[in-house]
Structure 1
Amino acid sequence: MSGGKQPNDRLASWFERTGWSKGEFARQVNRRARRLGALHVSTDTSRVRRWLDGEQPRDPIPRIISELFSEHFGCVVAVEDLGFKEPGALFTGSGVDLPWAPESVVELLGDFSRSDLMLGRRGFLGASLALSAGPALVEPMQRWLAPSPVPPLPPKAPQAPGRLGIGELEQLEATVRLFRSWDMQCGGGLRRKAVVGQLQEVTDLLQDVYPAPVRERLFRLTAELSLLAGWMSYDVGMQPGAQKYFVLALHAAKEAGDRPLGANVLGVMSRQMIHLDRPSDALELIHLAQYGSRDTAGPRTQAMLYAVEGRAHAALGQADKCRRALSVAEQLHADAPEADEPDWIRYFGAAELSCETGLAFRDLAYRGAAPAERAREPLEEAVRLFAGTPEYQRSHALGRVGLAAVYVLVRDAERACDAAGYALSLAARVRSERLTTRLRRTVRSAVDLFGDQPCVRRLADRLQGELPEAAFPLV
C-alpha cells in the first residue's frame, strides 16, 4: 500500500454498520460540510476509499464524520474511535456564519436540537463546536439588519397544510412562558432538555404551510424557545452550544419580523461575551441591538440593553461611559409601563436593574476604576427586592454572590460570609453551573484574604460539604 499506510479498520467497522454506499457516505459529508460553511470540502467515492485505506482526512472532516456517525447510531462516536488523529484545533467555521433564509433556519434548528437531544451535554455539543468571537462573530450578526431576500417561487411539489390551529399555538406560547418561569426559579439544569424537545417539535411544525400571520407567530415562538435553550445551556456551562442556539434564535426572530426580540437575543449574546471576558465583542453586539431596535423596542427592553452596555464598559474599565449607560437605563426603566411589553422582558424589573448596576460598579472596582463601596448599595437593594419574589431564585442567589464579592473587596469578612452563605442555601436548590462557579470563586477569594477567620473556614467547609465540585450533573 502506498506510503506504508495501514487500513483504517476502526473506520471500516463503523462505516459497514451504517449500510451506506461510499457515494452516499461522501454525499452525507459534503452536505454537512456545506451546512457548517466548509465550502472547500468536496468528497467523492475515491476519497472515501483512501480514508478506509488509512489516509488521515483534513480538519473539519474527522469531526463531521464523528457527528454523522454519532447521530446515526445514537451514541457518541469520537474522532479517536474512528481511527483518526484528533485535529489540533476546532473548526471554527461551524459556528455562526449561517445562511439568512427561512429554510436554512428550520433545517439547522432541527438538526441541532435533534443532535442535542440524542447525544447530550458531553456528546455532540461538547466535542464538535467551537465558540466564535471577534469579527467572526460580530460581522455575521450584522446581517440581521439587512433586508430579507426575495422569497423563492413556490415549490412544485405540494407541501403539507399546517397542522397547527390558533388554539394550539396559544397553548404553545403559554408553555414557553411556563418554561421561562421554571428557568428563573430553578436554573437551566433541570428543564433544559424539555425546552430543547419542545423546540424540536415546533421546528417540525415549521415544515408545513401556514398563512403569513400564523407563520410569523410560529417563528417568534421558535425564536423564544431557541433563545431559552441557549440561555439554559449558557447557565449550565455549555458555552459553544449556547452560542449556536442564540444565533439560530436571532435568525428565527428575523423571520418573525420581530426586531425587539432580535435585540433581546443580541443582548443575551452580549452578556455571554462579558461572562467569557470578551467585553469588546459584547459592546459591538449591544450597539448592534440598540441600533436595530431603536424605533421598535419598548422602554424596558431599551433599559436592559443600556444596562448591559454599562456592564460591558465596566468590564473594560471605562467608568464614565459605564455611568452614562447606567443613567440612561435607569431613566428608561422609570418611564416603562408596568405591563405593556413582551413576557420575555418581564424579568427586567427594579431588582434586576439594581443588580446590573451593582455588578457593573463591582467590575469597575476590580479594575481600580471606582470604589467598591459604590457597588454595595445597589446590590443590597437588589437582594432586598429579590427576597420578596421567589420566582427569581437564581437572580437572588447571583445578587447575593455579587454582594459577597463586594464585601470581600471592602474587607468585611463577616458580611461576605453571611451573603455567600445565603447564596449557598439558594444554590443547593438551583441547578446553575454559572451560579456555583461564581460562588466558589468568591469563597476562594474570601479564603485567600481572611482564611484565618472562623466564619470563613466554616463557609469553605460548608461549601465543600453541600456543593462539592461536580455536584448536580447538569444535562
Structure 2
Amino acid sequence: MNTIVTGGSPVTPDVWNGREMREALSERNISEIYRQLRKVGVSQRQIAASTGQSQSEVSEILKGRQVMAYDVLARIADGLGIPRGYMGLAYDGATAVRVANATSGPQAEEDESVKRRKFLSHAAAVTMGAAVFGKEEGTTWIPQDDVRTPAPANIGMSDVQQIQATTKALRDLDYRYGGGTCRDAVVAQLSWAQQLLDATASEAVKRKLFVSLADMQSLAGWTSFDTGLLDPARGHFGKALEFAKQAGDESLVASVLYRMGRVYLHHEEPNEALKLFQLGQIAAQESGSALTTAVLCANEAWAYGMLDRPDQVQKMVGRTKDEFARADPAEAPDWVRFFNVNDLHGMIGSANDALAVFNPEKYAPIAVAETIKCNEAYGADMQRTHVFGLSLQATNHIRAGDLQQGIKVGRNALTIGENVRSARVADRLKPLQIEAGKHRMNSDARDLAEEIRRFREA
C-alpha cells in the first residue's frame, strides 16, 4: 500500500495505528518510526520536509541516532501528523509551561545554524549599543509569557529587592538540584515581575528593576538550558541582554554572554561559543570587574581546548589567573561571585580535559590534578557542579591509565548525579561512559559503562 498523500502529513492516519508503529511511538523511538515510514513508501526527502530536518539528519536517525529533545519530538509529531498522545506529548498544564514558545511559529522550522547566527547578531547589536526594544527584526524567539497575576501600579526599591531575593532562592535550588527543580517557577515569577515595567517608579528604582529582570531572565535561560530546552533558553538570554544593556550594567551583559556561550560549548560548537565569550570580554573589560573578565577568559580557554589550540589555552589560562588574582570578590557583582578558587581549578581542568581528547598522555594528568582540587571542596549546595567535576576527574584518570581510580570516582559521580534533575548531567557523563567502555575486559569498567548508559537513557 502506498500511503503517500498530497498536502499536510505525507502519511495516512491508519499508519500510526499499526502494532509495531504504536510500540515505536510509545517508546519515542524515532529511528524505528522513520524505518516504518520508509517501509510504506515515505522517502527521506518527504520526512525531512515534514519535520524541518535536513536529509542528512534523517539519515543519521535512520542509522540509530537518538532524538531526546522535547521540542524536536513535538516538531516531528506535528510535522508528520502523529497524534501527540501516541508519543506521550499531549499538552497538560506542566507541559505547556515547559515548552512555552519552543515549538510554535516559523522559528521552530529554522535551521539551528540560522538560530545561532541570529542570536549572535542580536547579542552584538545589544552589546555594542543598538536600541533593540521592540524594533529588531527576527527576534520572534523572545519569550512572551501571557498568564499573569496583577502587579502594583507604584513600586519602590523594596519591590525590586523581592525580585532579587526570589532569583537568589531559585538560583540556589538550581545549583543544588538542577534546573528541572525550579525552571517552571522561574518562568512563572518572571511572568509576574515583568509587569512592574508598567508601574510608576523613580529612575533609580527603574534602573534596578532592569538589572533584576535581566538577572531573572538569565536564570530562566540557564534553567531552560539545563533541562534541554534550547530555544526557550536562547529567548530568555536575548531578553536578559536587552534589560542588562538598558540598565547600563556591562558586567551583567558579560555574564549573559558567558552563559549563552556555555550553551554552545555544551552542544559542541566551540567556534560559536568563542564569539560570544569574546563579545562578553569586551563588556567585562568595560565594566571594570576583574572577576567577570576572569570568567570570560576561563571559558575562552575551554573553547580553545575543544579546538585543539594548546597555545591559546595556555595564554587564556594565564590571563584568567592574573585577573582572578587582582579581583576583589567583595566588590564583584552578585552574579559572578560563584567564581571562586574551586571554579578556577575546575575551569582549568575543563580546558585540559578538552585538550586531552586530542593528546591524553600530556593533558589528562593535568586535568586530573586540577579537578581533584575543586572536587575536594564542593558540598551539597553545588551537587550539579560536583557531578561535572567528578565526571571530568574520572574520565581523565582512565585516560591517564589509572583505571581503578577512574571507576571509583566515576561511581561517585553517578551516585550524586541521580539526585540532580539536569539534562546536562546525562550529557556530561557520556565521555566517562566512552572511556570506561574501552575496557570491556575489566568487569568493573564494563559495569560502570553500562550503568551510565542506563542512567543516560532514563
Counterpart check, 1:425 vs 2:410: no
Query: How far apart are the structure 1 equivalents of 2:402 and 2:314?
Result: 26
Q: How does 1:59-458 map to 2 (within 5 A)?
A: 119-122=96-99, 124-126=101-103, 129=108, 131=112, 132=114, 135-147=117-129, 149=131, 162-368=153-359, 370-386=362-378, 389-447=379-437, 449-458=438-447
The answer to whether the 8 Å contact 2:399/2:435 transfers is no
Structure 1 pair 147–235 and aligned structure 2 pair: CA distance change class (3 A):
closer
The answer to whether the 8 Å contact 2:407/2:445 transfers is yes
The answer to whether the 8 Å contact 2:289/2:327 transfers is yes
Query: How far apart are the structure 2 equivalents of 1:80 and 1:325?
Result: 42
Match of 1:97 in 2: none
Query: How far apart are the structure 2 equivalents of 1:6 and 1:340?
Result: 61
1:79 offset after TM fit, Å?
A: 7.8
Superposed CA offset, 1:317-372 (max 9, x none): 11111111111111211222232112211211111111110110111121239532
1:453 offset after TM fit, Å?
A: 1.0
Structure 1 pair 198–116 and aligned structure 2 pair: CA distance change class (3 A):
farther
Q: Structure 1: which amino acid aligns with 2:195?
A: D
Query: How far apart are the structure 2 equivalents of 1:6 and 1:273?
Result: 36
The answer to whether the 8 Å contact 1:420/1:443 transfers is no
The answer to whether the 8 Å contact 1:290/1:302 transfers is yes
1:141 offset after TM fit, Å?
A: 1.5
The answer to whether the 8 Å contact 1:354/1:382 transfers is yes
Q: Structure 1: which amino acid aligns with 2:377?
A: L
Superposed CA offset, 1:41-91 (max 9, x none): xxxxxxxxxxxxxxxxx999xxxxxxxxxxxxxxxxx78999x878xxxxx
Query: How far apart are the structure 2 equivalents of 1:224 and 1:7?
Result: 42
The answer to whether the 8 Å contact 1:303/1:332 transfers is yes
Q: Which moved more, 1:420-429 or 1:451-460?
A: 451-460
Q: Structure 2: which amino acid aligns with 1:378?
A: E
Structure 1 pair 254–444 and aligned structure 2 pair: CA distance change class (3 A):
same
The answer to whether the 8 Å contact 1:303/1:330 transfers is yes
Match of 1:15 in 2: none
1:440 offset after TM fit, Å?
A: 3.9
Superposed CA offset, 1:406-448 (max 9, x none): 122123221111111111111111111101222144223312x
The answer to whether the 8 Å contact 2:291/2:329 transfers is no
The answer to whether the 8 Å contact 1:177/1:343 transfers is no
Superposed CA offset, 1:138-192 (max 9, x none): 222211234455999xxxxxxx984323222212211111111111111111111
Q: Structure 2: which amino acid aligns with 1:421?
A: R
The answer to whether the 8 Å contact 1:116/1:125 transfers is no
Q: Structure 2: which amino acid aligns with 1:283?
A: L
Query: How far apart are the structure 1 equivalents of 2:270 and 2:435?
Result: 23
Q: Structure 2: which amino acid aligns with 1:383?
A: N
1:236 offset after TM fit, Å?
A: 1.4
Structure 1 pair 419–79 and aligned structure 2 pair: CA distance change class (3 A):
closer
The answer to whether the 8 Å contact 1:404/1:442 transfers is yes
Query: How far apart are the structure 2 equivalents of 1:309 and 1:214?
Result: 35
The answer to whether the 8 Å contact 2:98/2:184 transfers is no
Structure 1 pair 208–325 and aligned structure 2 pair: CA distance change class (3 A):
same
Superposed CA offset, 1:269-290 (max 9, x none): 1111111221111121111111
Q: Which runs of 5+ in 2 are unaligned?
A: 1-5, 10-48, 52-73, 82-91, 135-150
Structure 1 pair 452–118 and aligned structure 2 pair: CA distance change class (3 A):
closer
Structure 1 pair 6–443 and aligned structure 2 pair: CA distance change class (3 A):
closer
Q: Choose 1 or 2 for highest CA Rg.
A: 1
Match of 1:469 in 2: 457
Query: How far apart are the structure 1 equivalents of 2:403 and 2:181?
Result: 33
TM-score (norm 1): 0.69
Structure 1 pair 179–81 and aligned structure 2 pair: CA distance change class (3 A):
closer
Query: Percent identical across equivalent pairs?
Result: 27
Q: Structure 2: which amino acid aligns with 1:454?
A: S
The answer to whether the 8 Å contact 2:129/2:245 transfers is no
Structure 1 pair 450–150 and aligned structure 2 pair: CA distance change class (3 A):
closer
The answer to whether the 8 Å contact 1:116/1:124 transfers is no
Structure 1 pair 116–221 and aligned structure 2 pair: CA distance change class (3 A):
farther
Query: How far apart are the structure 1 equivalents of 2:365 and 2:77?
Result: 55
Query: How far apart are the structure 2 equivalents of 1:405 and 1:7?
Result: 47
1:213 offset after TM fit, Å?
A: 1.3
Structure 1 pair 150–161 and aligned structure 2 pair: CA distance change class (3 A):
farther
Structure 1 pair 151–121 and aligned structure 2 pair: CA distance change class (3 A):
closer
